[in-house]
Amino acid sequence: MIRKLFKNLSRLAPGRLSMKALRRSKAPAHEPEIHKGSRLGIDRRLISNAASRTVEELQRAGFKAYVVGGAVRDLLLGIRPKDFDVATNAEPEQIQRSFRRARIIGRRFRLVHVMFGPETIEVSTFRALQSDDIELDEHGRVLRDNVFGEQHEDATRRDFTVNALYYDPVSDQVLDYHHGVKDLKGRVLRMIGDPEHRYREDPVRMLRAVRLAAKLGFEIDRATRRPIREMADLIRNVPNARLFDEMLKLLHSGNALEGLTQLRAEGLHHGCLPLLDLVFEHRDPRGLDFVTRALKATDARIHDRKPVSPGFLFAALLWNLVNERWLQRHGQGEHLIPALNAAIDEVIETQLDALAIQRRYVSDMREIWLMQPRFEKRQPATISRLMEHIRFRAAYDFMLLRAEAGLCDAALAQWWQAYLDADADERSALIAQTKSQRVPAGSPRRRRRRKPGATSGGSESAGPSPSD
């Protein structure tokens, strides 16, 4: 016992040992429920080689090491995890020394990234329960916490019972400290500890509860759900980068529509996606239909393991606002493309801070939006430039969704589908057919009367393309 006490003392900076930490060092370890992974349905073929090698190397060096968190949850549900985390009693410097390619990251929590080719395994040291040594802000959010502890403490520090499971792929054992296996079978998402206190520690846990419930089809435990609406404003205190990361996870969950609907139902959208009120209460039902189709198409791509563009997703969420302002400006006499550019600038300026969208995605959104009127200018040179654009496929899919929702003429989408499937002669024939036809209606175009004697600098109905 004395040896264990001195070990805990050595982990802390001089003069920073609290009485809580001292009492904790004398507390007996909690014994977990131990299950055989194969009996619970874990298929070892779903475990990445990098994760297994990380665990094996740490154990070979004399440390405890387990695959932990969402990866274990997904393995028990028969889902191939997207990434793997490992937890160990080795400290960051010890972890780093055990691998050829590893680096320590993080300020709030010190972690180690272990790299095997293109795959990175995130390795964390078991955390101690909260003590006087943890730095908090005025709202109770944890700012810095690098006090290491025992495995049972680390399990208690995790958010939900289904995420507090530890799996050893070497011995095929699952360690369960908080009846997470039972909650998995019951499809219940339950917070470990007092939910109100845990949400103050990290308000992102409220977003995570909604996201995981939507993704997994779980029911949020009543006590876990109760404080969320009252504490939703704490989301505003979370750094934009963390909020954006959590929103991307929700949109890439494969159940984005259900997740956003639940986010709004709990009042959490005010701190990260305030535009959801405008999306779900849009006065034109076609606008809601468009967003719904975009989210369902994204979910389908996720389930088919196809790539998804964040820029496309946010372009879809914000399109109704852009389109509304575009119509308004063009109706007041502004030319087509300048009106669209002004509408885009206005929406981005008012929504960027609230959404915390990274600027690299903003440029993708702008390009997708600006290419929409160019689909209607079906001339050989314009078509050629359009198809060579790096965002052509995303913009094309966007136009198809607009047509499906009735936001542009279905004939336009049919023409482009036929053109992309045609050979050279058939494409020439399709272009020739459009020369004697008016450009399909459905976009925010309006012919303006020219003053007597005015000359036309181009087709007002089609509008100039950004590259003209």
| Catalytic residue ranges | 83, 85, 159
Are 430 and 415 in contact by the 8 Å Cβ rule? The answer is yes
**What single-letter amino acid sits at 373?**
P
Q: Tell me the sheet residues that pair with 35.
A: 174
Distance CA 456, CA 461 (A): 11
Are 108 and 242 in contact by the 8 Å Cβ rule? The answer is no
Name the strand (E) or helix (H) holding 246: helix 240-251
Q: What is the greatest pairwise CA distance in the chain?
A: 99
Within the chain, how many helices (H) and strands (E) appear? 22, 12
Give 77's DSSP letter: T
Distance CA 329, CA 234 (A): 37
Phi, psi values for residue 46, rounded to 5° = -85, -5
Give 268's DSSP letter: G
Structure tokens at 2: 């004395």
Q: Three-class SS string for 402-459?
A: HHHCCCCCHHHHHHHHHHHHCCHHHHHHHHHHHHCCCCCCCCCCCCCCCCCCCCCCCC
Closest among 45, 85, 90, 48 to 68, alpha carbons compared: 85
Name the strand (E) or helix (H) holding 6: helix 2-11
b vs e for 22-45, b when ≥16 Cβ sit within 10 Å of the residue's Cβ? eebbeeeeeebeebebeebebeee
What angle, 0 to 180 degrees and rounded to 10, lies between the N-to-C axes of helices 410-421 and 392-404?
Answer: 140
Are 275 and 354 in contact by the 8 Å Cβ rule? The answer is yes
Distance CA 417, CA 396 (A): 9
